[in-house]
Amino acid sequence: MGTTQRLVELGVLDWAIVALYFVAIIGIGLYLKAFTKTGDDFFLAGRRNSSWVAGLAFLSANLGALEILGWTGGTMKYGMFVSHFYWVGAIPAMLFLGLYMMPFYYSSKIHSVPGYLKLRFDERTRLLNAFAFAIMTLLMSGINLYLMALVFNVLLGWDWHVSMWVSAAAIGCYITLGGLLSAIFTEIVQFFLIWAGLFLVSILGLVEIGGPAHLMDQLPATMTSLWATTGDPSQNAMGVTWLGLAMGLGFVLSFGYWTTDFLVVQRAFSSKDLRSARLTPITASFFKMALPFIVVVAGLVAYKLGMDPASGFHLPEDPQNPGKVWNDAALPLLIARYYPTGLVGLGITALLAGFMAGQAGNVSAFNTVWTYDIYRVIFRPKASDAHLLWVGRVTTVVGILLSVATAYVAMQFNTIMDYIQAIFSWVNAPLFATMLLGMFWKRTTSAGAFWGLLAGMLVSFAIFLGFRFGWISGDLARWLTFAENPSDMSRNLWQASWAWVVCFLVTIGISLVTPPKPDSELVGLVKGLTPAVDDGKVAWWGRPAFWAALSLAVLVALNVWFW
Amino acid sequence: MSEPREPLPIWFFVGVILLVYGGLVILGDATNLREIRLSHLHPGLWWGGGMVVFGALFTALGLWTHRQG
């Protein structure tokens, strides 16, 4: 399992920087324990955060090292198309969450997204989503741990078992001590470390190549455009049309993830008031739009260097796919190319922090959903706050151990990775249809929501298995994806889209023939029965709508600029 | 001795980490033995310097907001 190949060498100073990170995060956890006395403190960080703190944590919970490494490598394959995942594939959904959905979430004082499903629909819908989310989160956490060990083993020669157990122990330690507040603090530290440790790679890459204009001039047009080649899927490396991007990524996957995934939404719940909660995803949207300046620029620099045999830039073999080039190593190789001692340690610490913060996000979301939406519902409906706090701490330790176990399973069975890549489509895409109808159509019934959600999840699962085992091919594949030879990416986008459509239609159909809840039970949960948010007393520059409009204007400008 | 009601803000911790890391990055560049591209630009010196400045600002901001209550 091990390998002796090392792509980056660390000096004493670099090791000191890595070690200091562990000291800092565990120290923060110990410090915050004194402020974690109630369930709200542990699971919702005491609902005391400003929109800046919650916003950066909201973004950072999604900003894992896997994403950074993967999309830098992905840029070498797909070019600037990767920016779609940061721009159209994120910003509209984040703004929609802040402007229209957050009032229903935050005002109902729930602890989790499944908690909203209980209030709006019923217990079975809550449990269906809670179990699906808990399983997804644990799997993601374990896979994240496994991939972290893999990356550091290949890059630095670190031992697999030491990497996994040391990072898992550190995360378990500071989450058990300080709960969500610890997770949020370390996520914000991670945000700054990623900018401090990785943005310089892009700057130095552009300096070596001769500037941004020179870089863009030397790359093929398919690498440097966002929409110009989406009229014909055969003309872009991602193999998708503008419709697939707009519907699959820009609507279903994006809205499904950013508006319903408790991992990120939990950060907004920790805000001190409704206006801060609404501003949380809107604040995060500006920083999300800036990330391609690390990820995509570094990927384009790596692609350009790779085109020139004299550059001395050579990607290694993929440890999971022997014989293929490992694009995900592009960013660490650029670190080794440009960074002196000290900065190398900082760059590696930024990646390590990215892995660990992502892991902590999964664990803190898992312990909340398990404690409030599964344990309390099934085992102890009348549990005291102190008991739930104790359960949350124990669940953190158990969740960490299950993550490590999942990581060992993934180490033995690499094919599990293929299933994980599609899991978001099973859970989040249909859930977005349920939430949309639940919040904006008061006629939606509990039966409609449950059976619609179940049908959407099953359809997503069936399409995934169909493609994986070849049951779906030929005309059916063409009909499902609108492409002759759909890429994996295209299949994922359309799989999510069909899951959303089925959930949406089944929910409406069943709702029309089953009795709805009385209006009195839906106050605060559904549009039309909830008092509108009045920002009239807030200065124009403090209103969520103003910042959302500004964010949208920046998004449009970026898409036009790089059309 | 009673415990403080509110924890130190995150900006304080971010500031201290940037301050310490900035100093180590400067030290690393000054003593660098690695063979790297663009070494004549001394990226660690000016980047580390920027981190020290930002770190100091964040630390001061964190302490100031904590004292404001």
Least confident range of A163-172, A284-293, A424-433: A424-433
Judging contacts by C-beta atoms under 8 Å, the chain B residues touching residue A14 are 28
pLDDT at A86 over 60: yes
pLDDT score, position A143? 84
Closest residue on chain A to B42 (Cα): A340
The 10 Å CB-count burial string (b at 16+, else e) for A536-554 is eeeeeeebbbebbeebeeb
Mean of per-residue pLDDT scores for chain A = 88
CA-nearest residue to A17 within chain B is B21
Contact B32 A340 (CB under 8 A): yes
- Gap from B34 CA to chain A (nearest CA, Å): 6
Min Cα–Cα distance to chain B from A443, Å: 44
Q: Reply yes or no on whether the pLDDT at A450 is more than 60.
A: yes
Asked if the model's pLDDT at residue A254 lies above 50, the reply is yes
| DSSP state letter for A482 | S
Task: Identify the weakest region by mean pLDDT among A111-125, A228-242, A261-275, B6-20.
Answer: A228-242
Greatest CA span in chain B, whole angstroms?
55
Region A64-92: mean pLDDT is: 88
**For residue B38, pLDDT beyond 50:** yes
Of A207, A208, A343, the CB nearest to B28: A343
Mean pLDDT of the A428-444 span: 93
CA A360/CA A266 separation, integer angstroms: 13
**Which tens digit of pLDDT belongs to each residue from A223-247?**
888 888 777 777 777 777 788 788 8
Helix ranges (DSSP H) in A413-487: 416-421, 423-440, 446-468, 474-481
Alpha carbons A41 and A111: distance in angstroms, whole number: 11
Establish if B45 touches chain A: CB-CB under 8 angstroms.
Answer: no
Cα–Cα distance between A544 and A547 in angstroms, integer?
Answer: 5
A77-103 average pLDDT score: 92
Closest CA to A303 of A213, A212, A223: A223
Q: What is the pLDDT of residue A312?
A: 84
- Name the nearest CA neighbour of A249 among A516, A502, A520, A500: A500
Query: Is the Cβ–Cβ distance between A496 and A425 less than 8 Å?
Result: yes
Residue of chain B whose Cα is closest to the Cα of A18: B21
| All residues at 6 or more sequence positions from A229 whose CB lies less than 8 Å from its CB, including other chains | A221, A222, A235, A236
Contact B1/A at CB under 8 A: no
**C-beta atoms of A341 and B28 within 8 A:** yes
- Residues of A within 8 A of B17 (CB-CB) are 24, 189, 192-193
pTM for this predicted structure: 0.89
Residues of A in contact with B21 (CB under 8 A): 17, 20, 193, 196, 346
Asked if residue A4 has pLDDT above 60, the reply is no
Query: pLDDT class for A428, splitting at 50, 70, 90?
Result: confident
Which single residue is written with the structure tokens 């009795």? A515
| Minimal-distance CA residue of chain A relative to B52 | A196
Q: Which residue of B has its CA nearest to A32?
A: B7
Q: Which residues of B touch A338 (CB under 8 A)?
A: 36-38, 43
Q: Check residue B4 and give its pLDDT.
A: 59
How many percent of chain A have pLDDT more than 90?
46
* Coil, strand or helix at A83: helix
Interface test with B, best of A9, A30, A208, A343 (most B CBs within 10 A): A343
CB-based contact A346 B21, cutoff 8 Å: yes
Distances (CA, A) of A334 to A104, A266, A294, A303: 45, 35, 12, 11
Which among B21, B31, B38 has the least Cβ separation from residue A204? B38
Cβ density class A274-310: b for 16+ within 10 Å, e for less: ebbbbbbbbbbbbbbbebbebbbbbbbbbbbbbeeee
Query: Per-residue pLDDT for A417 more than 60?
Result: no
For chain B, the structural domain boundaries read 10-68
Residue A77 confidence (pLDDT) above 80: yes
Query: At residue A271, what are phi and psi to the nearest 5 degrees?
Result: -70, 160
**Residue in chain A lying closest to B26 (CA):** A342
Which residues in B lie closer than 8 A to residue A340 (C-beta atoms)? 28-29, 32, 34, 36, 39, 42-44
Give mean pLDDT, residues B9-35: 94
Q: Chain B: give the shortest CA distance to residue A44, in Å.
A: 15
Tell me the average pLDDT across A414-433: 74
In this predicted structure, which of A266-275, A439-448, A548-557 has the lowest mean pLDDT? A266-275
Q: Is any Cβ of chain A less than 8 angstroms from the Cβ of B3?
A: yes
CB half-sphere exposure, A199, CA atoms < 13 A = 14
Model confidence at B1, in pLDDT bands (50, 70, 90)? very low
Q: Which residues in A lie closer than 8 A to residue B33 (C-beta atoms)?
A: 11, 341
- The ipTM, to two decimals, is 0.94
In the chain, the amino acid numbered A47 is R
Distance from CA of B59 to the nearest CA of A (A): 13
B40 interfaces chain A, CB cutoff of 8 Å = no
Q: Is B60 on the interface with A (CB under 8 A)?
A: no
Interchain contact, A342 vs B27, CB within 8 Å:
yes
In this prediction, residue A247 carries a pLDDT of 80
Q: Is the pLDDT of residue A47 over 60?
A: yes
Rg (CA), chain A: 23
Token look-up 């009909």 returns A479
Which single residue is written with the structure tokens 């924890």?
A: B7
At A294-337, the pLDDT tens digits run 999 999 999 999 888 888 888 888 877 788 888 888 898 999 99
* Calpha distance B19→A147 (Å, rounded): 31
| For helices B10-30 and A160-209, angle between their N-to-C axes, nearest 10 degrees | 70
Over residues A483-506, the mean pLDDT reads 83
User: Nearest CA of chain A to the CA of B67: how many Å?
Assistant: 17
pLDDT computed for residue A3 by the predictor: 46
At residue A120, the pLDDT reads 95
What is the structure's pLDDT at A55?
93
Tokens of A541: 């520059």
Give tens-digit pLDDT for A116-175: 999 999 999 999 999 999 998 988 888 888 888 888 887 788 888 998 899 899 999 989
Chain A residues close to B41, C-beta within 8 Å: 204, 207
Distance to chain A for B43, nearest Cα, Å: 8
Contact between residue A57 and residue A217 where contact means Cβ atoms under 8 Å apart: no
Percent of chain A with pLDDT over 70: 97
